[in-house]
Chains A and B, each alone.
Chain A
Amino acid sequence: MSDIAIRVENLGKRYRLGQQSLYYRTLRDSLSNALTVPARWLRRSGESDEDIDSARSSNYTIWALREVSFEVRQGQVLGVIGRNGAGKSTLLKILSRVTDPTEGRAEIHGRVGSLLEVGTGFHPELTGRENIYLNGAILGMRRKEIDRKFDEIVEFSEVGAFIDTPVKRYSSGMYLRLAFAVAAHLEPEILVVDEVLAVGDAEFQRKCLGKMSDVASEGRTVLFVSHNMSAILRLTEETLVLENGRLAMRAPSPQAVDFYLSSGFSEQGERVWTPDEVPAESAPFVPIALRVRDGQGRISESVRSVEPITIELEYRLDAPIKGLRVGIYLMSTRGDHIFTSFDTDDPSQYERLITRPAGKYISRCVLPPDLLNEGRFILGINASSYRIRRYFQDEQALAFTVDGAGAPGMQWPEPRLGPVRPRLDWRVEVTS
């Protein structure tokens, strides 16, 4: 008897460059390949097939995941964190059997249900009721199981009155709620969750988190991938940190989150995106760099609380985008949001930039002096068209440190709670 739910040994996945996205070979490429391969064989007959294959392909392939080994006990809720492209999604895709590993092996004890993306397989023309059955079947539920849980699903989704309306008439919020409701009522022994909480309004997110902790407390094994550090800390006790396809750390969650947030960020106050860090789905939006500049305009990792802080995001549009807004999240190292701001928050600005033509841009804003408390902060970026599409999002793009020298109350060397440290105009009156 073992109480292991998942055992992963030396798991690796290699992709041909470009294969991961919308790339596909045409017959002509293959035919010309077929003609040149035998010729190469003849030339290098001393080497084995495998050698030639790896020698030829090393330039064109990337290891999305390599030499990853870990075990998950039954009933454990394990977090998985890492930056975009660190291999989290690849790991989950292998464990949920969407794709095969290139090397190594994994053992799964029990049925795996995946909440990889809410609404997978929803058909816009079908009604809410029909989609519940269809989506349930896709996620591996039996029809009887769906019958039994139908009312519960409808209630959770709060779409009650519209259950017989085609989902194309739903608001995006309703659509998400329904999709999550179906997925949340799966009852597999192992649940794999990828970033489902990144969507929906705050109230809905709270509800989802609640549902997730219910699932965990029922003793099911959960693998939980998220960029939301507070959700990781709340739901998991242990967390894996992935870096460039390798397992960088496995530790109790608070430790893992600290490690993740303090490592891997560039120290120069600048984050530059290389082309393979940008997912194909974000096109035509291409992030180039995010920078923090101090009061003198120098790119710097450390800025002063009493000076203005400039944040600039450089990006390229390969095609015009309508209704685009590019903005930042400012977060604490615990992952709590401090604020969100977009470059078209001002209505007249929004009107002026309603369609942004293709080209290179810099969106820049200045945080006024005397705003932030001393400490470390995380900047995230988001480029989206409201309710239409999110082009790109990186919730942990860059970290920077705020130095408190000269800030109000520094004469007392005590830490001040809270992320902000405004200089307030205190008046003291003697009233008697």
Chain B
Amino acid sequence: MTAKAEPSVTVLKPARGWVALNLRDLWLYRELLYFLAWRDVKVRYKQAALGILWAVIQPALTVVVFTLVFGQGLKVSTDNNIPYPLFSLAAVLPWNLFQGALQRSSVSLVSNTNLLTKVYFPRLVIPLAAIGAALLDFAITFALLVGLMIYYHTPFTWNMFLLVPLTLLVMITALAVGLWLSALNVQYRDVQQMIPFLLSVWMYASPVVYSTALITSAKWKLVYALNPMVGVIQGFRWALLGGSPPGPMMAVSAAMMVVLLVSGLFYFRRMERIFADVI
């Protein structure tokens, strides 16, 4: 044998049934992932008069409305009597990340039709990049939250470092659901119509405007935590503002997340070979 490296051989044949995840291929295309996320960030606020300010206005107004309706109006009680604006912003922060990431990733395949039908790359790159791009808004909202914490003289604790794994969990949840929805949306555009509704129901099913303390039975708390956003949001509140740690709820949410992610990955891989044909 000569020293010259044989070029890699790719065999193309009809795929049947379930296929391997082939995450190595994804790793080879990590730069594309970066560039696509960077493109989404870059064009996000182009040709909007207020530009990046929207990333501040949107969560700020949300919190104002929540405070007026749920804090002042309905007098929703918060954990440890945390001021309501702070209480809701600590939940709006992960919720908006989840919502933004899910919204973009579910339509990501369809809005990148021209790429899907023209060039090969691991299709997983597209929903992943869409989720990565949602981090910009998250960072800005986080700055807003820090400002609010200073205003209310909330002590900063070492728990804040737990925000890193918690943020990762939010993104993984968004990815898990996003994989399912984006692949379904290629075939059934009904998904696109359903997403705004799904998200608004999901938000009220998550402890964004109220506290998990509202559910008193320990058993029902665990059922409630089957919504993976429950454990995460509670985790965010606890890491930022103190109060009760999410504990067993977190475990249930994380387990649910793993189930969604693994099934989502395999479903996506199974469907991806027909994307170019049906999109």
Contacts and interface: CB of A to CB of B under 8 A. Distances in A.
Interface of A: 1, 15, 19-20, 23-27, 30, 93-112, 114, 116-117, 120-121, 123, 125-126, 130, 133-134, 137-140, 142-143, 189
B278 A96 contact: no
A25 B278 contact: yes
B188 A26 contact: yes
20 contacts: A15-B277, A24-B186, A25-B188, A100-B12, A103-B14, A105-B11, A106-B13, A107-B11, A109-B7, A117-B118, A121-B115, A123-B39, A130-B39, A134-B36, A137-B34, A137-B36, A140-B29, A140-B32, A142-B31, A143-B31
Given A107-B11, A108-B12, A112-B120, 11 more contacts: A1-B1, A19-B277, A23-B278, A110-B8, A117-B118, A120-B119, A121-B119, A130-B42, A139-B119, A143-B31, A189-B7
B279 interface: yes
Interface of B: 1-2, 6-15, 29, 31-32, 34-36, 38-39, 42-43, 46-47, 114-121, 186-190, 273-274, 276-279
Nearest to B8: A110
Residue among B31, B119, B190, B276 having the largest count of chain A Cβ atoms under 10 Å: B119
A294 to B, nearest CB: 44
Contacts of A19: 277-278
B119 A96 contact: yes
Contacts of B43: 123, 125-126
B119 A116 contact: yes
Contact of A125 (B32, B47, B190): B47
A100 B273 contact: yes
Contacts, number: 126
Nearest to A135: B35
Given A105-B11, A126-B42, A26 B190 contact: yes
Given A100-B12, A108-B12, A120 B115 contact: yes
B12 A101 contact: yes
Contacts of A30: 187-188
- Nearest 10 pairs of A and B residues by beta carbon: A110-B7, A97-B120, A105-B13, A137-B35, A106-B12, A108-B10, A99-B276, A137-B32, A125-B43, A100-B273
Given A126-B43, A138-B115, A27 B121 contact: no
Given A19-B277, A98-B117, A102-B14, A25 B7 contact: no
